[in-house]
Amino acid sequence: MQTIRLYTLGKSTLEYDVAVPCLIFRHIGFMDSTEFRTFLNKALELAVERKEEGEMFGWVTNLTESDAFLEEDMVWAANDFEKQAHEKGLRAVAFVLNQDAYALSSISGEIFVESSEERGSEEVKHMNFKDEESAKAWLKEVLNN
């Protein structure tokens, strides 16, 4: 499947896979709060530009090479950002996590999902995966049902 690179910030990249349709956020290393929030807001802006009118989309967040994000950023992403993204068509988020259950990136993903669940959001589905291919297959299924 062909992906289109939309944005790069440091070692982080954002691509769009038209076939799913989904954004693919790949992050390496650490991102401070300003970079993290700027990246997500830019990603949402680009997703809205790419998708068809009324089309729903998914999001793959690949954290296999990522350091942990700050807890307050995960809470912001789950409570504020995800609500905005849902209003613009986001329906599912697939996290690709490091095999090591104790990896810092896994902890960030868990904080995000817990914060989203505490908000009572069932509007956006979440699932963890070991690889991007499985994540995209799940997103495609969720978006087509």
Q: Give the integer Cα–Cα distance in Å for 43 and 50.
A: 11
pLDDT for the residue numbered 44:
92
pLDDT for the residue numbered 135:
96
Mean pLDDT value of segment 51-57: 81
pLDDT for the residue numbered 117:
56
Percentage of the chain modeled with pLDDT above 90: 46
Q: Walk me through the domains of the chain, giving residue ranges and CATH numbers.
A: 3-144 (3.40.50.10600)
Residues 116-131 have pLDDT tens digits of 555 555 588 988 898 9
Query: Has residue 39 got a pLDDT over 50?
Result: yes
For residue 55, what pLDDT band results from cuts at 50, 70 and 90?
Answer: confident
